[in-house]
Each structure stands twice: as structure tokens, then as C-alpha cells.
Amino acid sequence: MPDNNDRVPPGEGKPRREKLIPLSPKERMAIERQDMPEQEAEERRGNFSEVPFGYDDDLAQLEAKRCLECPSAPCIAGCPVGIDIPRFVAHVALADYAEAARTLKEASSLAAICGRVCPQEEQCEAVCVRGKTGEPVAIGRLERFVADWEREHPVDDPEPLPPTGKKVAIIGSGPSGLTAAGDLARKGHKVVIHEALHEPGGVLMYGIPEFRLPKSIVRSEIEAVKRLGADVEVNAVAGRLFTIPELLEEEGFDAVYIATGAGLPVFLNLPGENLIGVFSANEYLTRANLMSAWTYPYTDTPIIQSDRVAVIGAGNTAMDAARTALRLGADHVAIVYRRSRAEMPARIEEIEHAEQEGVEMRLLTNPIEYLGDEDGRLVGLRCVRMELGEPDSSGRRRPIPIEGSEHVYECDTAIVAVGTRPNPLIQSTTPDLLFDKWGRVMIDPETRHTASEGVFAGGDIVSGAATVIAAMGDGKSAARHIHAYLEGELDTAAIIQSIRDRTEE
């Protein structure tokens, strides 16, 4: 086995990392990034099965051998939950998948999910050293490979610490709530997750479709959190069946973590928005995913049968809605977006998948009116063409309507996917909490404590619509600080005052 440890100078001020993969840097550099086999576009647009098949052993080991095991490992800092990426990747290269899985588990309780839906191209892979001169290591694909292997060959869960006698309520069972629950249960606290819907998982269950994130995977990750000792109560709507003050004052909880997401759809308020055939992406996707409308009539929930569909927006939600509409049998589906391709917020991989499946991209096109027939059914979308002007406050070039460019896109279904915001239910039933003008809970960014004693918050309810891994990162940080709070190590009076001061600025 060649020892190449001496060939790479150690990172300045960093502990030296022992290299595990028995290849020289030159040998590693000679390996090209490995594609992940997937269903052909023509075939997959007719089914809800997962699009990529994942790496097999050979592909995974080959891809892993591309890692340089850099002493400075910038990929770790690029990961919002700080996975020791070179270590887990090296264990894949050595075919020691159990050790790779243990390494992932140290930092992430939802690796099979993150490996599928995280925007690695903007995070760990964006800073991967191999990306400087070619393509980065396919960290996400390797994470997915290891997590899938571990589902078939479970490695030991770390033993939770002995019970502390403290009780924590988590409100919301999306990635943020689940992550906080797992970490707090490991510390020995009694954790109860309260979820409004009849099934836990948040957007992972009701938003992201089966063909991108199979629900069996989400369920098995939730089971793993339960095995750590967390209880899940479904159909438990905070603000309707109970309030947060009641949990603390009457139900014996010592702390609360609010992770209720940002699930309230935003509409465009255009004329005709009440026509039959106009949906929010949330309703459309919830019917299809959570209520399994794609298997109707074998399940109870129906969904509109469409011929021509317009999906308004260009984020991940829009791509999911467009690709779901195709799979539900639509003849033609178009993304209608007022800016250009460069500004589309969806992951590049999702845009490419949608295009391969036949989704039309009607870019620089802004809808101005929904058109209906005498029965109140949608028949078209009146649109205007746009050009890009100077950058606006968000840094993106402002779209400007082109005079005389009005036209109609004929469609029987329009799905609005232009964003979401927090539901105001918690705001209206938790008097001490403070909220910003977008309805997001205000927190101390360091500790995630809110303006209400013993109440913490994170995920989309704080950041607005963001990403799975950011929500998980918040959950991890909250769990750390909730633990400190339960140990009496948090000066909450000062924290609460600093949040109140911010609202008066």
C-alpha cells in the first residue's frame, strides 16, 4: 500500500488528517466524476418511481477514490451540519460502508434525504478542491449511497444518555423538528413531537414528490428518530388543540422548539384566481403526495385531470409541480417565469430533469390574468413578455414588460408556485413571541431562543422558505442550546431583552 501522506503539506494550523485511500494524488486526479444511472426521460415521465437508481458498489468506490482527502477539507465547512466528508468518503473508497455510515450519523440523522434533495452544488460540492480544475467529488451521491446501504445493513445507533427527567415539546415534524428531536433524545431528554397533519415529515412528505424522494425513505428516517426515544403525536395542531403557553405551564414541558415551517401559499392576486383549475402548488402537491392522489381511485383523494398546464414560478416547488402534472397525464406542461434562466431558483439538476421530460420553459414571461369560460373554468393565461433591466434590491436584474407583447397561453390548469410564508396560527396564539413583518419568528441567532422564556425556533418559520439542510442545521443548533437551557446555562433574560430591543430599532 503506497504511503502518500507525506506528499501533501498539512493545512496551516489544522490538525493533520491521516489519509486512508491508498492512491497517489495523480491517480485520484485521473478518475472522472461518475454519472448516476437513472430512468430514461421518456419512460419516467409516465411513472412515479424514483428517477435516479443510485450508485452501485463499483461506481461509489470509484467516485470516492477521486477525493484528495485535503488537509484543510473546505467541504466540511461547506456542509451546514458539518459532516466529516473526507472521512466518510474515504471509507466508501475502502468499501467500509459501516464506518462511512457511522461518520454520517455523527452529524446527520437524515442522510438518505439530504443525499437526494440537498443543493450540494451550492454547498459542499461548491467548495470542493477538485471543482477548481474540473468536477467536484459527487458528495451528495455518495451520501445517498451510504445511507441507502445503511437502511439494508443498520449500524448501531449511538446509545441515548440516561433520562434527565426533562421534557421538550417540538412543534412540527419537518427536517428541523426531526433533527432537533433526534439530538435532544440522544441527550436523554423526553421529546414529544406535535404534528398538525396525519403523517409526520413536513415538506418531505407532503411537498417533495415520490419520484424525487420516496416516502418509504422518509418514513424509515422518522422511525430512526423514534427509536432514539422521541414520541410523535399526529393531528396535533398547535394554536387550535393546545397552545405553547399551555405546554409549558400545564403539560409539564420544560422547553419548546417551534419548527412549523412556512407552508402558507402566496398567490399573485391576479384577476381570475378563483377560477376552477387554479391551484396553489402546495394544494396540488399535497393531494398528489401526502394524499396519494396519483393512485386514485385506489385512494380516496382525487386530483384534477389536466391537458395543458401552466406552472407559475421557477423554484424547486415549481419543477416538482410541473413534473407531477406530466406524470398525472397532462399533454403539455409549461413553466411560466418572468425572469431568465440564470435567475431560476430551482436546483440545476431539477431544471434539467424537467426539460428532459418535456416541460417547456416559457421564460421572460409574466402572467397578468387568468381567463375563464362561462362555467367558471380556466381556459388560458394572459401573459406579457419581459426583458431584464438593472439589478433590483435582491441583486437580480429587474424584469420589465415589453409593450405590445401580450399573448394567451391556453391551459386548463394553472399551478401557482411563487413562494410561501409562515401560517399566522402560532403568532395569534402565543402572546410573548415577537414576529417580523413577514410573520417569521424573531430569535436570538446565536442560541435560537425567542422572546418567550424557554421557547426556541428554527427552520423555515424563522428563515422563510429555505432548504432541508438549513432547517436541519437550525434543528441541531437549537438542540444544543435547548440542552444548555435545561442545564441552566443560558442567560435568557438578556437574550429576550436583546430581541425586544431589535423590534424597537
Residues near ligand SF4 (CB under 6 A): 67-70, 73-75, 85-86, 89, 128-130, 137, 139
List alpha helices for 366-491, DSSP H: 425-429, 460-463, 468-486
Does 441 help bind ligand FAD (rule: CB under 6 A)?
Answer: no
Per CB under 6 A, 244 contacts ligand FAD: no
DSSP H helices in 31-171? 41-44, 57-64, 74-78, 85-93, 97-107, 111-117, 139-152
| 196 lies in the site for ligand FAD, by CB under 6 A | yes
373: number of Cβ within 10 Å? 12
Binding mask 450-489 for ligand FAD (x = CB under 6 A): ---------xx----xxxxx-x------------------
111 touches ligand FAD by CB under 6 A: no
Cβ count near 434 (within 10 Å): 17
Give the cell for residue 444: 436570538
Q: Indicate whether 285 belongs to the interface with ligand FAD (CB under 6 A).
A: yes
Looking at the Cβ atoms of 11 and 160, the one nearer to ligand SF4 is 11
- For the chain, the straight-line distance linking the first and the last C-alpha, in angstroms and rounded, comes to 63
Q: Which three cell numbers stand for residue 254?
A: 420544560
Smallest gap, in angstroms, from Cβ of residue 194 to ligand FAD? 5
Residue 496's H or E segment, with its range, is: helix 492-504
Whole-angstrom Cα Rg for the chain:
24
Q: Nearer to ligand SF4 by C-beta: 71 or 188?
A: 71
Q: Rounded distance, CA 496 to CA 101, Å?
A: 39
Question: Minimum distance between the CB of residue 18 and ligand SF4, rounded to whole angstroms?
Answer: 13
Between residues 68 and 471, which has the closer beta carbon with respect to ligand FAD?
471
Picked from ligand FAD, ligand SF4, none, the partner binding residue 129 (CB below 5 to 8 A depending on kind) is: ligand SF4
3-class state of residue 80 by DSSP: coil
Residue 480, SS3 per DSSP:
helix
> Near ligand FAD by CB under 6 A, which window of 188-196, 354-362, 400-408, 442-450?
188-196
- Please, what is the minimum distance in Å from the beta carbon of residue 345 to ligand FAD? 10
Please give the order of strands across the beta sheet that includes 190-194. 231-233, 190-194, 167-171, 255-258, 455-457
Closer of 52 and 207 to ligand FAD (Cβ): 207
Span interacting with ligand FAD, options 36-44, 232-240, 374-382, 482-490, rule CB under 6 A: 232-240
User: Is the N-terminal amide bond of 297 cis, ω within 30° of 0?
Assistant: yes
Cα separation, 369 vs 408, whole angstroms: 9
- Give the whole-angstrom CA distance, residue 429 versus residue 406: 45
Q: How distant, in Å, are the alpha carbons of 211, 299, 302, 303 from that of 283?
A: 18, 17, 12, 10
SS3 178: helix
Find the binder of ligand FAD among 59, 171, 180, 443 (CB under 6 A).
Answer: 171
CB nearer to ligand SF4: pick between 136 and 272: 136
DSSP-assigned beta bridge partners for residue 359: none
In the shown chain, the binding pattern of residues 311 to 330 toward ligand FAD, with x for contact by CB under 6 A and - for none, equals -----xx--x----------
Closest CB 2 distance from ligand SF4, rounded Å: 18
User: Judged by CB under 6 A, which stretch of 121-129, 255-263, 301-309, 395-403 contacts ligand FAD?
Assistant: 255-263
Q: Does 182 bind ligand FAD (CB under 6 A)?
A: no
Closest separation in Å from C-beta 380 to ligand FAD: 25
Residues found near ligand FAD in the complex (CB under 6 A): 117-119, 171-177, 194-197, 202-203, 207-208, 236-239, 259-261, 263, 285, 316-317, 320, 347, 423, 425-426, 459-460, 465-469, 471
